[in-house]
Structure formats: C-alpha cells, structure tokens
A and B are shown apart, each in its own frame.
Chain A
C-alpha cells in the first residue's frame, strides 16, 4: 500500500504546526502530498486552509429545488389520482400543496447536505489512510505523503526544527 508511506511530525502547539507546514512547503513537498490532521478545526491558522472551496451551499439549494419539485408533483399527483368531489373548489388544493412542497424542499436540502458532506469529506470509506491516534490527544499532525527515501532525512530534520514533538515515519 504505497499510499500509507508517510513521514509526519506531531505538534502540540498550533504555532509550531504552522512553522512545520511552512518547512514542508519550503522543502518543496507538493501541496496535495501534505498531510494535516488535528482534533480541532484551527480555522485561524493557515495550515488548515487547504481545500476550502466548496459548492455545498449550492448543492443544498439544488437538492432543495429537486425535493420541492418532487413534493409538488407528489402532492399534485395524489390529488389528481383520486379526484374527490370538491364542490367547485380547486381539485389541487393550493395550501396543502404548498405545505408539502415546502417540507420536501427542506428534506431535499438536508439530505443533499448530508450526502455531500459524506462524499466530499470522504467519510465512511473503508480504504486505509494515514492516521495517528495521538491526534485525539490534541496533537497536530503535519507531514508528507509518499516521500522518497532521500527526502525523509531532510523532512525529519525540518519538522523537528520547526518544533515537532516527535517525528514518525511509516
């Protein structure tokens, strides 16, 4: 499993993690090969700023539109499918149709958000990925994926000098 080849440092302090990140970039590690993991979001530090662009709100809107359309069609169809005698009132009653449309709009939006989260955040996948249980003790993992043997020593030195508590190689 080549994907599990990695070298990483565990940092206690986010400022040190920031320095470790810079060190990896300075060493010329490609951005897609840089590993970052933490037990908190650390939104205020730039080492967490990779992959921030997301279309999730738009997908949620789209999901809502699809849900709403389904809701409208369902409400309409079920009223037409069993035409009741309405005494001159519209067969497709506007208020209930609007209510069902609204509820299914929200249903669609919520559903899409959850599915988008699961897919884009790669949740629920069984493929092994680099990880260290130390992260949940508050350590911040900064490392490089798939380094060549020549790079390893250099990266280890750079991570340690940035303030890594430990450097692990897998």
Chain B
C-alpha cells in the first residue's frame, strides 16, 4: 500500500460521517423496526406474564439465558483482543481495535439486558443491586447472579472507557472540522483535547494500564457466567472445565463477530485500503487456533463424562449425542469445526470471503453451543418422571431477533458518528521508530545547553 498522507487518511475515514444515503436509512429503519417489535414483545411479556415465553418446568432457562451467554461471549471480541494486541505491540491491530471495542460495548449492553428480560418480575430487577434498602435486606452474595452483577458492571466500565479514551483525539479532529451544532457536540466529546505531549503521554499510559486491567476482567466475566451453571448440581453443568471452556468459546465467537463486522465495514464504508487482507488473514489464524481449542474442550468434556459413566450425566450425554438434540449438536460441530477448520487451515481459502464464511458458521455454532449447554441438561435432570422438552414461542424469537437487529442498528449509528478506525493511531503508524531519533534527541539536548 502506498503510504497515505494524513490528509488522505482524514478524508477517507471521516467521509462515512457525512449525510446518510437512502440505502443506509432503509437498513437502519429495517433494524429499528425489528428492535421495536422486540420491545413490544417484551412489553407483552410484562403485561401478560412470563408464561408467554416458551420456558416451562423443568426447562426454566431457555432462549433468554442462551442469548445472555451468547452476547456476553461475543463481547469478548473487542476489548480482550484489542488489549492483547496492544500489549503485544502488534502494529497491524491499529485499524482493527476500535471496530472490535465497539462490538464489546454493544454486545455487553445487549447481553446484560437478558438477566432483566428473563425475570418473572422484571420491574423488581433493582433488588439485585447491593444498596441499603428499607427492606433491610442485602442481596445474597453467595448467588452466582450477584457475581455476574459485579463482573458485568466492572467489565462494562472497563470496556466503555477502553473504547472512549482513545476516541478523544479523534473527537478533537472532528471538532476542528465541524460547524454549527455538530461542532458543539464534538467539542464536548473532545473534552478540550489539544494534543499536548503531556496529554498524549497520559493517554498512552492510561491505555496501557487499562489493557493490563481489562484482560483479567474479561476472563473473569465469562468464567463467572459459566459458574452460573457450574455451581448448580445439574448433570453436565457441574464441571470444573466450564470456566475455561466458556472463556475459550467466548473469544472464539468474539473473533468471528469481529471478522464479520470488519468485512461489512470494509464493503459499505469503502475501507478497502485500511482493512486489508492481512487483517482478515491474521484474525483468521486466531480463529483457527480457537476453533481447535474449542474442539479440544468439547472433546475433553465429552470424554470425561463418558468415562465417568454417571447415569444422570450419561442421559444428557446421549440425548445430545444421538437423541433428540443430536441434530443441533452435530450442526454445532459442523459450524464450529467442520466448516471453519479447512477454510482457515488452507492458506488458499483463508481469503476475506473465506474467513467471513467461517465466521458466520462460528457465530451460529456458538449460539447453538450455548443453547445445547443449557436446555438438554435442564430438560433431563435426574428423575425421569419430570423430564420435559422446550420450544420457544414467538415472544422469545422476536426478542432474540431484536438483539441481532439492535447490534446492527447500534453499530450503524456508531459508524455514522465516530470514525470506526482510530485515525490518530493509524497515523501514528506512519512514524515508526526512526533510526535517527536518538541522534536528534542528542542534538536537542546539546542545543538546549
């Protein structure tokens, strides 16, 4: 790629912020319509009672908790990957970080709504918050749901600031170019950024600390989500493998979501000269590693259950392996391993299209994995007399569709308001460590004498 001048970079990356095309508005309205439908479905559920959802005894958790785990898992796309690449000083990350971090913030916000949506009495959700109340009762900190509360809030704070802090210089850039109301809004968002060396240095120090802090938080979040299940004596849930299994699966689905988002941005915002094939190739390799890791975890989990040969576990084992859930199970293996493995392993197939196909497979497969962890275990718990099956209703389907539409809608709105590629970080690449810099510093000191 011929080096771009700063002016070209500014122009290319600020162009999408302009007016909205008819195509953009149509797509936005389409997604907004689905989101509104989901809100209506939730409103109906609150009005009529949670019974309008398909959950039943004994499958008390269905699509909602599946979505919860799925979206929280997807949120491991951004902040975690971006933090690791930042710490590893991988220069190729620069055009990727922001569009990844946005996924985190939105996916986490969407996922965090599900513990409320699935409640029998969602209007009392604030009872989960630890605050001194007139009831004299604090929430039960022994409950993994409370751990979720703390972990998700910490992760949300971490990922929102991780996204917002490096946005400040870009806000200043837009501020300097905008006029009228836009200028006022971006002035506020830029927080009076001037670009003094002190500001730059503090920002980079803060990002370094944040990158260090956010990695263990991200790992803890999905571990705790897994403990929502592993802490209960339910067949195939009560397992020590769950925390690392969930974290690996989360990163797996996160990378896949990132690849899909990048491909869409590349196409619709014409970022062909910024999101290069090498980015998809590098992320594709990461996805390949995670696919193998996922397969390894599933294998280890199933193998242990098989040799343990505990009757209640074997019931769930067989119902997913050969029983009524087996079509979903093998579809999951197909989507998470059979499709992505050859595509990502063969260099010729590891193209942009190839990685996107693999990623779509992984997103579907990981959603199925969450479903297959939750529902077969609950529907085949110990006493055979109370086994049951689960089938979602239109309410759950609408709300599930609504979350995907919400993700698309929020992403579209974000890409219209903020440059989706960090402009200053991209420019910083233009000045890699120059060999003559130390010598210059030397002369500078002499000059000062």
Find out whether A and B make contact in their complex, taking CB atoms under 8 A apart as touching. yes
A contact set with B: CB distance below 8 Å? 14-15, 18, 21-23, 25-26, 35-52, 54, 56-57, 60, 71, 74-75, 77-79, 81-82, 84, 93, 96-97, 99-100, 102-104, 106-107, 109-111, 113-114, 116-118, 120-126, 129, 131, 133, 135-138
Known: A54-B201, A60-B213. A46 touches B195 (CB 8 A): no
Are A122 and B192 in contact, CB atoms less than 8 angstroms apart? yes
Binary A-proximity of B156-178 (CB < 8 A = 1, otherwise 0): 01100100010011001100110
Among residues of A, the one whose C-beta sits closest to the C-beta of B436 is: A15
Residues of B within 8 A of A25 (CB): 444, 447-448
Let me know if B141 and A103 touch, CB within 8 A.
no
Interface on B for A, CB 8 Å cutoff?
5-7, 10, 130, 136-142, 146-147, 150-151, 153-154, 157-158, 161, 165, 168-169, 172-173, 176-177, 191-206, 209-210, 213-214, 216-217, 220, 224, 424, 427-428, 430-431, 433-434, 437, 440-441, 443-445, 447-448
Instruction: Count CB-based A-B contacts (< 8 Å).
Output: 203
CB <8 Å contact, A106 and B213: yes
| Inter-subunit contact A135/B141 (CB<8 Å) | no
What would 13 A/B residue contacts be, using CB atoms closer than 8 Å?
Answer: A39-B424, A97-B141, A103-B217, A107-B153, A107-B157, A110-B158, A114-B161, A116-B202, A120-B198, A121-B202, A125-B192, A135-B176, A138-B7
A160–B129 Cα gap in the complex (Å)?
62
**Apart from A44-B433, A44-B434, A49-B441, 18 more pairs, CB < 8 Å:** A22-B444, A41-B201, A44-B437, A46-B441, A48-B201, A52-B197, A56-B206, A57-B209, A74-B130, A78-B139, A96-B141, A97-B141, A100-B150, A103-B150, A103-B151, A103-B154, A135-B195, A138-B7
From known contacts A56-B205, A81-B138, infer whether A137 and B10 are also in contact, taking CB-CB under 8 Å. yes
A123 lies within 8 A of B154 (CB): no
Contact B198 A46 (CB under 8 A): no
When distances are taken between beta carbons in the complex, the residues of chain B under 8 Å from A138 are 5-7, 10, 427
What is the CB-to-nearest-CB distance from B235 to chain A, in angstroms, rounded to a whole number?
22
- Asked if residues B150 and A99 are in contact (CB atoms below 8 Å), the reply is yes
Q: Would you give the shortest CB distance from A84 to chain B, in whole angstroms?
A: 8
The smallest C-beta distance from A57 to any residue of chain B, in angstroms, reads 6
A4 to chain B, nearest CB (A): 13
Could you tell me if A121 and B203 are in contact, using CB atoms closer than 8 angstroms?
Answer: yes
Cα A117 to Cα B199 in complex, Å, equals 8
Q: Is the CB of A117 within 8 A of B204?
A: no
Write the nearest CB–CB distance from B227 to chain A, whole angstroms.
Answer: 9
**What is the chain B residue whose CB lies nearest that of A22?**
B447
B176 & A136 in contact (Cβ 8 Å cutoff)? yes
Q: Is the CB of A46 within 8 A of B445?
A: yes
Q: CB-CB < 8 A to B444: which residues of A?
A: 18, 21-22, 25, 46-47
Shortest Cβ distance from A31 into B: residue: B448
The distance from the CB of A92 to the nearest CB of chain B, in whole angstroms, is 9
Interface centre among A113, A118, A137 (most CB of B within 10 A): A113
Task: Select from chain B the residue with minimum beta-carbon distance to A81.
Answer: B138
Q: Determine how close the nearest CB of chain A comes to the CB of B91; give it in whole angstroms.
A: 14
In the assembled complex, the CB of B130 is this many whole angstroms from the nearest CB of chain A, namely: 6
Q: Is B204 in contact with A41, judged by CB distance below 8 angstroms?
A: yes
Q: Complex formed: what's the CA distance from A114 to B207 in Å?
A: 9
The 5 closest A-B pairs by CB, nearest first: A138-B6, A22-B447, A78-B138, A133-B176, A48-B197
Q: Is the CB of B206 within 8 A of A117?
A: yes
CB distance from B304 to the nearest CB of A (A): 23
Q: Say whether chain B's binding surface is mostly helix, strand, loop, or mixed.
A: helix
Q: Which residue of A lies closest to B9 (CB)?
A: A138
- Known contacts A40-B424, A42-B431, A96-B141, A18 near B440 by CB under 8 Å: yes
Least CB distance from A126 to B in Å reads: 7
**Considering the chains assembled together, what is the distance between the CA atoms of A14 and B97 in angstroms?**
26
A47–B209 touching, CB < 8 Å: no
User: CA separation between A106 and B6, bound complex, in Å?
Assistant: 37
- Asked if B6 and A79 sit within 8 Å, CB to CB, the answer is no
Report yes or no: B194 in contact with A37, Cβ–Cβ below 8 A: yes
A112 to B, closest residue via Cβ: B209
Q: Which of B6, B7, B137, B203 has the most CB of A within 10 A?
A: B6
Q: Which residues of B contact A104 (CB under 8 A)?
A: 150, 154
B173 partner residues in chain A, CB cutoff 8 A = 39, 136
Assuming the A-B contacts A107-B154, A113-B213, are A123 and B199 also in contact, with contact meaning beta carbons closer than 8 angstroms in the complex? Answer: yes
- Measured in the bound complex, the distance between the Cα atoms of B71 and A30 in whole Å is 54
**CB-CB nearest in chain B for A141:** B195
B443 A22 Cβ-Cβ under 8 A: yes
Query: Quick check: B431 and A44 within 8 Å, CB to CB?
Result: yes
Q: Select from chain A the residue with minimum beta-carbon distance to B200.
A: A41
Q: Is the CB of B434 within 8 A of A137?
A: no
Cα distance A126–B191 in the bound complex, in angstroms: 8
Bound: A51/B7 CA distance, A? 29
| Known contacts A99-B224, A103-B150, A110-B154; A51/B198 CB under 8 A | yes
Which listed residue, B191, B217, B445, touches A118 by the CB 8 Å rule? B191
Of all chain A residues, the one with the shortest Cβ separation from B435 is A44
* B196→A60 contact, CB < 8 A: no
C-alpha gap A133/B130 in the complex (Å): 47
Q: Tell me, rounded to whole Å, the shortest Cβ–Cβ distance linking A132 to chain B.
A: 9
Bound complex: CA A97 to CA B141 (Å) = 8
> A133 CA to B173 CA in the complex, in Å?
8
Complex-state Cα separation, A106 to B139, whole angstroms? 21
Q: How far is the CB of B140 from chain A (nearest CB, A)?
A: 8
Cβ-defined contact, A51 with B192, below 8 A: no
Known: A39-B424, A109-B209. A117 touches B154 (CB 8 A): no
